[in-house]
Every structure is written in C-alpha cells, then in structure tokens.
Amino acid sequence: MLQLLFVALVGFFASLTNAFYLPGVAPTDYKKGDPVPLLVNHLTPSLHHVSNQNKINSATYVYSYDYYYPKFHFCQPEGGPKKQLESLGSIIFGDRIFNSPFEIKMLEPLKCQRLCTSKYPKADSVFVNRNIRAGYNHNWLVDGLPVASILQDRRTNSEFYGAGFHIGEVDKDQRAVLYNHFDIEVEYHKRSDDIYRVVGVTAAAMSLDRSELEDETDADKLCSFEDLQQVHLEKDKDTEVLFTYTVNFKESPVAWATRWDKYLHVYDPKIQWFSLINFSLIVLILGIVITHILIRTLKNDIVKYNEVNLDDDISDESGWKLVHGDVFRPPPQRMLLSVLVGSGVQIFFMAFVTIIFALFGLLSPSNRGALSTFMLIVYIGSSILSSFVSGYLYRFLGGDNWKLNLVLTPVLVPGILFGIFVFLNFFLISVDSSGAVPMGTMVAVIFIWFAISLPLSIAGAILASKRPLLDVPVRTNQIPRQVPQQPWYLRLIPVMFISGIFPFGSIAVEMYFIYSSLWFNKIFYMFGFLFFCFLLMILTTCLITVLMVYYTLCSENYKWQWKSIFIGGGCAIYVFIHSLFLMGGEKLGGFTSMVLYTGYSIVISLLVFLCCSSVGFISSLFFVRKIYGQIKID
C-alpha cells in the first residue's frame, strides 16, 4: 500500500512539472535577422564597492530588487514586463527574470537606439543614488549567458568576464552617477553557413546627460561621449533621463561548448591549493595520532586489561575500562539525540550527492536554479534515510516511543529551518526585495514536503524497525558510576573550540567563495576544490571526535554520546564567527540587512553543526563498540 501511494505521488508531481521550467543546456542556433532575446534579472548588491579613489563609500546591503521595481524607473517593454518561467530553486534563491525592451537581432548592429525617457521624482532619486553608492548591479541574460563586464586580473594581467555590471558609479566629487547608455557587444561563433551561436555578451555602461539636447537630435550627437556630461539625479528636483543602447557583433573562435570559460575565472588558485595541501597534512598528522592510539596505546591497554581483574590497581592513563559498565548507558534526551543525528545524516547525504553531481558537470551554471532545485529534491528524497537512522538509533538507545520519533524526525529540524526562513522572509517583504519568496511557492514547498517527505519517513521508520540492533559488547550496570572532575580541556565549551578549529580550517577558504555566491550573485563553480575540502572536513571531524572521546573515556567519563555531538559540531562555531569576519570591513545598511545576514549565517552554521555532529557521533559509536569489544569482562 505504501509503495502504491509513493508511486502515485511521484506520478502526480511528474504531471505538474510544467509549473516550473527547468531549462536545458542544448545550444540555440540563430540565423541572420533572428531575434536574440535579452532578459533582465534582479538587481543585486556587490561586496567592497569602491569609488574612483578606491574607498568604500556606502553601506552594504544583502537583499536584491526586481529590475522593474517602480523606484528605479527602468524602461519597460511594450505591453508591460512578462515574467519568465523559472525553476523552484531559482525562485527560492531570488531570481526574478523578465523580458526587456531591448531589441537585438543576429548580425544586425544598432547605433544609439532610444529606449525611453524616465522621470525621477525627488524621493526616488534619493533611493536610486543610495543603491548606486551601494554598488547594485544589473543582471541581464542573453541565450542563457550573463551579460558581463570585462575585468582584468591584476596578478596575471588577463581579462575575464564578470557577471553583471553596476547601475552607476560614484565620481571623484563623491556624487552618484546613473548609467543610462549601454554598449552591448554580442560575440558569436559561426557554426556553418547562416548558422550562428552566441558565445559571449558584454556591456559597457555609460552616463550621458541629454537634458540640453532637442528631441530631434541625431544619433551621433545623442551618444557623443566627449560632448555630454554625466547624469546626476537631483534630490531637490525631478530629473528626466533618456535611456539608449547600442548593439555590435563580434565573431569569436570560441566554441559554444567552452563559452563559459571566460566567466569561470579563478583569482588565485595557489591560495586554494595551499589550503588543500596544508590541511591534508593536518589530516595526515591526525590520522597518525589516531593510528598511534589504536595500534599502540589501545593494544597495550587491551593486553593489560585482559591480564588483570577489575579489582586490581589500574593506572590512570588506562581508565577507559573502568567505565565499561556505563559506557552504553542510554544518554538523557535520547529522542532529541536520535532526531538530530538522523537530520544530520540527511544533510550530509544532500551535500555529498549535490557536490558529486556538480563535480561531474551535471549541474551547469547555464541551467539557472539547477543546483538549488537539485539540493531540495535530494533533501526531500533522503527523508527515508533520516527516518531510518533516527528510528534505528532510537531503538538502539532503548527508546520505546517510536511514534513520537516518527513524527519528530521529518518535522523538528525542517520545521525550525522553515520557521527561520519565514521569519526572515517578512524582513525581505518589508523592504520590497525580490528575494522575498511568494506565498504560492511557500505553499507548494509545504505541500511537497508533506506529500513526499512524510511517506518516505514512514517507509524509513518501517525499515529501521525490521533491522536487527547492533550488539553491545558489555553489560550496563544498574547503578551509574560517578563521573570525577574533568580536566578543563575536556569540558564542553573548551573542547568544542579546540576540536572545531581543525575541520573548519579545511573549508575556510571555500567559505569566502560560497558566501560571495549566496549574497552577491557570484558564480560558484570550483566544485573540485569544494569536494576535497568537504572530504577533509568530514575526515578531520571523524578523527578529532574519536580522539576527544577516547580522552573523555580515559578520564572516566562515560557520558560520551552528547559530547561527541558537540565535539563534531564545534566546526559550526567557527563558521559563524568567520561569516561575521567576512563582513567585518563592511557597514551593513540598516537593521534589515543585519537581521538577514545574521539570520542566514545562523542557518548555515546550524546545517554545518548537524552535518558534522552526526558524523562525529557515528564515528565515535563505532570506535567505542570496537575498543570495548576487544576486552574480556568477567
């Protein structure tokens, strides 16, 4: 019955796939004169925006706006903007794609074409000037490619394409300047006679004040860069601005298959290689330490323990056998522990599978929203794994309220994350941000979650109930042993800080690029580096947690279960501190930006905590079973 229900649900959602457009990556062929649509996406902030004197001149905002947000007064197409179909992940992450009034036809250049004349009231001028100072960017799309600005890597003196370009600049007098003319250059590759493909699009934006020109002015004077002044939106009077654009075409030897190469620029790969090598050595050293413990110390301990009785005097350094009667005693709040471990395994599986698919190029950046949509699908689909791990662990720890475990596993952590998400969404709505998720999308996510995740969770719980439990190598005493005073470095807070620094070090460099991608619309594509950093983080978490659990047992503390959770999750503390450090040199604009940045940083840190803590607990569980299975207990 459960299988039939699952098949029916899959078929039902397959029939609704036209509700979200998942664009392909197949090339589009154009003939001469064919229209080449230019689409506009949201306006996004940038990090470290600078003036002509290379000084930060404004606050940093972390939310985006619709391109056609009324206060910007950008030109609209005839009949009004039409929203383009987007994937579910694209909508959740803030993409809002519309058509535009730009008319581009293949191999038909245009010179200084008028778009429209917009009138900026005084209040709107202040708003636009603020966002110019904040470094907001246009994000246009042509044939799936971002319309880019040409940048130069000062280290290598090589040119590359940076997605998007500023809506304006700050001049030497610290006045905001609005760009109102766009030189668009379309690079094409000639595949055969009269068959062309777009392989690159760049735009050079300029500011040209035409307020003194007559309406009948010809194109040469209308776009004369030498004779015209820049456009300044006045805060004490209304300002009229004429928008124009030019289109040119340039043949390129770049093939369609490699057209993204100029967009995917690595600023300094040596830093990432240094980070990988550095923390690979740390993992190697930790591995040697753990091997030393397992092969020498534990071997000697086991031989010694098997030769003496419990009543004999045992040295302090061999104290882990003294707690053999309590080491598998069920911990307090075993329900919560089981749910957290199950949810952490689900997050780990989602991250691992997503990185693997992206590593092999199956989640192309040209397929907008594919990465986030895939993550959501894997997360929902892995509910069966979460429920299985949680239910099995709960039974192993002696729990009997399996119904509550079945309900809490798919609801507790996702419910907390969704609650934070809804709370932050209200702040996005309050500033009219395009990142605010529509109510219909929220309802769709909730419906998908309860229609797919809950049945999968039930299936996982059923599978867990039928699996035989792990053997416990020692019996648990009826009376719990008293835990002696612990060394300072094994107390909860110090041990989290000590153990968390090692896993965090393996991902510290990648965190900068991940945050730039999340907050400032940068393209993240270094999944090879990310994959190895992720593996280093997981391996380091396993090793450091096992090491600290061993020392905890040696200090005659049998309460290792919750401690392994917090030791493994100690990395999350540094992730949160690092996120604050990344914005240390920036002035966040307004209370909303501070709440959004802090809130989403907490969410990311929570996800890291759950992922690493589950890895730490599971590795510690197998370690404890292994060492206590090697000694003889009378």
pLDDT of residue 390: 94
pLDDT of residue 309: 53
> In this structure, are 182 and 200 located in the same domain?
yes
**Is residue 272 scored above 80 in pLDDT?**
no
Cα 316 to Cα 322: distance, rounded to the nearest angstrom: 10
341 within a domain of the structure (yes/no): yes
pLDDT of residue 486: 86
Report which of 346, 334, 351, 332 is spatially closest to residue 410, judged by C-alpha positions: 346
Residue 377 CB neighbours (<10 A): 17
**Is residue 21 scored above 50 in pLDDT?**
no
Q: Which of 217, 241, 263 is the last residue of a domain?
A: 263
**Is residue 266 scored above 70 in pLDDT?**
no
**Is residue 567 scored above 90 in pLDDT?**
yes
Identity of the residue numbered 361: G
User: What sign does the dihedral 17-20-25-27 (CA atoms) show?
Assistant: positive
> In this structure, are 172 and 291 located in the same domain?
no
> In this structure, are 204 and 274 located in the same domain?
no
311 within a domain of the structure (yes/no): no
Q: Which of 263, 284, 306 is the last residue of a domain?
A: 263
314 within a domain of the structure (yes/no): no
User: What's the mean pLDDT in 139-147?
Assistant: 90
Cα 483 to Cα 490: distance, rounded to the nearest angstrom: 13
For all residues of the chain together, what is the average pLDDT? 82
Model confidence, pTM: 0.85
> In this structure, are 208 and 279 located in the same domain?
no
Higher-scoring residue by pLDDT: 536, 573: 573
pLDDT of residue 80: 87
Sole residue written with tokens 């004779």: 227
pLDDT of residue 215: 66
pLDDT of residue 273: 67
User: What's the mean pLDDT in 10-25?
Assistant: 38
pLDDT of residue 1: 36
User: What's the mean pLDDT in 579-602?
Assistant: 82
> In this structure, are 244 and 285 located in the same domain?
no
**Is residue 50 scored above 60 in pLDDT?**
no
Torsion of CA 559, 565, 566, 567, to 10 degrees: 90
Can you name the residues that pair with 148 across neighbouring β-strands?
163, 202
522-546 pLDDT, tens per residue?
777 778 788 888 998 998 899 899 9
Report which of 577, 578, 572, 566 is spatially closest to residue 510, judged by C-alpha positions: 578
Higher-scoring residue by pLDDT: 505, 286: 505
> In this structure, are 232 and 340 located in the same domain?
no
Q: Which of 30-39, 269-278, 343-352, 414-423 shows the lowest mean pLDDT across its residues? A: 269-278
pLDDT of residue 112: 85
Report which of 359, 376, 379, 358 is spatially closest to residue 367, judged by C-alpha positions: 358
Longest Cα–Cα distance in the chain: 106
User: What's the mean pLDDT in 76-80?
Assistant: 88
Most confident among 169-183, 476-490, 530-544, 602-616 (mean pLDDT): 602-616
**Is residue 269 scored above 70 in pLDDT?**
no
Cα 429 to Cα 423: distance, rounded to the nearest angstrom: 10
**Is residue 633 scored above 80 in pLDDT?**
no
pLDDT band of 49, cuts 50, 70, 90: low
4 within a domain of the structure (yes/no): no
Cα 95 to Cα 66: distance, rounded to the nearest angstrom: 9
12 within a domain of the structure (yes/no): no
Domain count, the chain: 2
For residue 542, give every residue at least 6 positions away whose Cβ sits within 8 Å of its Cβ, in sequence order, or none: 615, 616, 619
183 within a domain of the structure (yes/no): yes
Helices marked H in 360-491: 370-381, 383-396, 402-430, 439-448, 454-466
212-245 pLDDT, tens per residue?
776 666 666 777 777 778 888 888 888 888 899 9
Higher-scoring residue by pLDDT: 432, 289: 432
pLDDT of residue 219: 64
pLDDT band of 72, cuts 50, 70, 90: very high
> In this structure, are 392 and 259 located in the same domain?
no
Higher-scoring residue by pLDDT: 27, 353: 353
> In this structure, are 228 and 283 located in the same domain?
no
Helices marked H in 483-585: 492-520, 527-554, 561-568, 571-582
> In this structure, are 251 and 112 located in the same domain?
yes
> In this structure, are 248 and 354 located in the same domain?
no
Q: Which of 263, 288, 310 is the last residue of a domain?
A: 263
pLDDT of residue 350: 95
pLDDT of residue 308: 56
Torsion of CA 500, 502, 506, 507, to 10 degrees: 10
**Is residue 19 scored above 70 in pLDDT?**
no
pLDDT of residue 53: 42
pLDDT of residue 8: 39
pLDDT of residue 307: 64
Which 8-state DSSP code applies to residue 331? P
User: What's the mean pLDDT in 243-264?
Assistant: 87
> In this structure, are 367 and 516 located in the same domain?
yes
Helices marked H in 80-200: 88-92, 122-133
Cα 373 to Cα 370: distance, rounded to the nearest angstrom: 5
- Residue 595's domain spans which residues? 269-297+319-629
The SS3 of residue 311 is: coil
pLDDT of residue 280: 76
52 within a domain of the structure (yes/no): yes
Q: Are 249 and 104 in contact (CB under 8 A)?
A: no
Strand ranges of the sheet holding 239-251, from the earlier edge strand across to the other edge: 110-120, 239-251, 181-192, 195-206, 148-153, 158-163
**Is residue 351 scored above 90 in pLDDT?**
yes
Can you name the residues that pair with 150 across neighbouring β-strands?
161
Q: Are 272 and 531 in contact (CB under 8 A)?
A: no
307 within a domain of the structure (yes/no): no
pLDDT of residue 261: 80
Angle subtended at Cα 203 by Cα 202 and Cα 207, rounded to the nearest 5 degrees: 165
> In this structure, are 385 and 440 located in the same domain?
yes
**Is residue 313 scored above 60 in pLDDT?**
no
